[in-house]
Amino acid sequence: MPDTPQIKPSRPAGRQEVYFLLDGKIERVDNCPPTMTVLEYLREVAHRTGTKEGCAEGDCGACTVVLGERTADGRSINYRAVNSCIRFLPTIDGQELVTVESLAGPDGTPHPVQQAMMDHHGSQCGFCTPGFVMSLFALYLRDATPSRETVIETLSGNLCRCTGYRPIIEAGVRMGSYPDPAHWSRDATTREAHRARLDALQRDEPLRLPGFRAPRTVDEVASALEADPGSVLLAGGTDIGLWVTKQLRDLPPIIYIGNVGALKSIRREADGLRVGAAVSLTDAWESLVGLYPDLAEMAQRFGSPPVRNSGTLCGNLANGSPIGDSIPVLIALGAEVELRCGPRTRHVPVDRLYLGYQRKDLAPGEFIVSVRIPLPSAGLWVSAYKVSKRFDQDISAVAAAFAVRIEAGRVQYARLAFGGMAAVAARAPATERALLAAEWSEAGIDAAAARLAEDFTPLTDLRATGAYRLQAAANLLRRFYFEHSDPREPTRTAEALAAVGLE
């Protein structure tokens, strides 16, 4: 383990050193390689081998750790589980790192999460156990007495191949029945001590390492990218991390945007909800679901909690995958991105951002600043669906999102977007035309669904055949109709809008 400084610096000034808290002490990593992962550091440098490597791509959860980061107002710490296998170490500068070795008390007394796992026989081979413990620990700090459903969702990013999930889930449900520990308790005084230590780690100047820089303002990001347009812009790293761990690529200089406060904000404005480029998927989806409750299932099925805690909504847009589940949703909602290149700013609708497979309407040095999502309007029905082989944490065969308004029994507005049907996520213009002004009926939906073959010629791959994708897309449209064929729906829509103050 690296030597801990004898004198705790009040404001770290070293430009080539990464500082973070571990077990209440400051860890300092000199000349940190920009793509060293947190997992690599823990196992090979700190020799904390409780954290495991399983898949090296953020799927299995064996590498789960918890990161504590100060909230925007600086008054508290937000602790969240993340995958350490694809998280680059420089991105945790100024944060608190918690591993499975951190949880026991000074006398070795297990933490309630650990004791619950033992008492309920939640481990056999033990390889996956530390990851389960850390996911449950993050939940414990938020809610020590969660429901069974909450525990199941929390563990959706952790895989176990021998114990079976029943005893692990039972441990999560029962972990709050143990006495609150002195070490890593939910006590406010304990939290304040951690926050004070994190305050001392905040830098006066941005972190800069060879091949890595972390600007603090949007202007600094724009200047850095304009000066070196070949740099890679890094936010959550849930995709870029795989370039290193799976593709073994050497990355160009990294510009990390996770320290830019303006890019980490969510603002509700008169023309919509504006989500900054560094806002996590967890926070972005929470805001989206608050406006459009029917998006809840898509939010739950997007990746896993550790992936959503690191990844960003705008990162999913910038990646531009044809199976990026958020893209059809944003297209259906009529969202637009704010782009910045040097001092210049422009706005582009999400459905016009993609020019072809992995091709985007982005000039060299241009980057996404935010995405603006229109606010709900009365009578607009919005839903999103996902078809995949697994319910949790799986890549879509087909994803669909629909925004439709009905007046006097006829379709007056329709935006239909699909993922997994073409080289990019896209609208279905022929299908939309068939719907517009048509009667909102099963016959009208069948006629529109038949036009999907004009909009898409999906490929066949390991996830699904092209014919299956067309049939699934048509059936999702039918499902949307059956879910919104109740004549009382406008009343329920009005009630939902009133609940969020948008009546």
| Token pair of 96 as six digits | 């608190």
Query: Would strands 272-276 and 266-269 be described as parallel, antiparallel, or unpaired?
Result: antiparallel
> What pLDDT sits at residue 498?
58
> What pLDDT sits at residue 6?
33
380: which strand partners? Answer: 405
Confirm if 29 and 21 have CB atoms less than 8 A apart.
Answer: no
372: which strand partners? Answer: 274, 336
Q: Which long-range contacts (CB under 8 A, 24 or more apart) does 225-232 make?
A: 225/255, 225/365, 225/366, 225/367, 226/341, 226/342, 226/365, 228/253, 229/364, 229/365, 231/255
User: Which of 319, 327, 320, 277 shows the shortest CA–CA distance to 302?
Assistant: 327
| Token pair of 488 as six digits | 């009382």
> What pLDDT sits at residue 485?
87
Query: Would strands 266-269 and 77-83 be described as parallel, antiparallel, or unpaired?
Result: unpaired
For the domain made up of 208-373, the CATH class stated in words is alpha beta
DSSP assigned state of 42: I
H or E segment and range at residue 313: helix 313-319
179 CB contacts (<8 Å, ≥6 apart)?
Answer: 112
For the domain made up of 112-177, the CATH class stated in words is mainly alpha
**What are residue 93's phi and psi, to 5 degrees?**
-55, 130
Mark the ranges of the chain whose per-residue pLDDT is less than 70.
Answer: 1-15, 487-503
Integer Cα distance of 237 and 312 in angstroms: 9
User: Is the pTM value of this prediction over 0.85?
Assistant: yes
Confirm if 415 and 350 have CB atoms less than 8 A apart.
Answer: no
DSSP 149-197: HHHHHHGGG---SSS-HHHHHHHHHHGGGSPPPSSS---HHHHHHHHHH
The correct answer on CATH 3.30.390.50 for the domain covering 380-499 is yes
DSSP assigned state of 374: P
**What are residue 196's phi and psi, to 5 degrees?**
-65, -40
Name the residue ranges covered by the structural domains of the chain. 112-177, 208-373, 380-499
407: which strand partners? Answer: 410
414 CB contacts (<8 Å, ≥6 apart)?
Answer: 402, 403, 404, 405, 432, 435, 436
DSSP assigned state of 495: H
> What pLDDT sits at residue 212?
97
b/e per residue, 16-27, with b = 16+ CB within 10 A? ebbbbbbeeebb
DSSP 392-408: SS---SEEEEEEEEEET
> What pLDDT sits at residue 186?
82
Query: Would strands 232-234 and 208-209 be described as parallel, antiparallel, or unpaired?
Result: unpaired
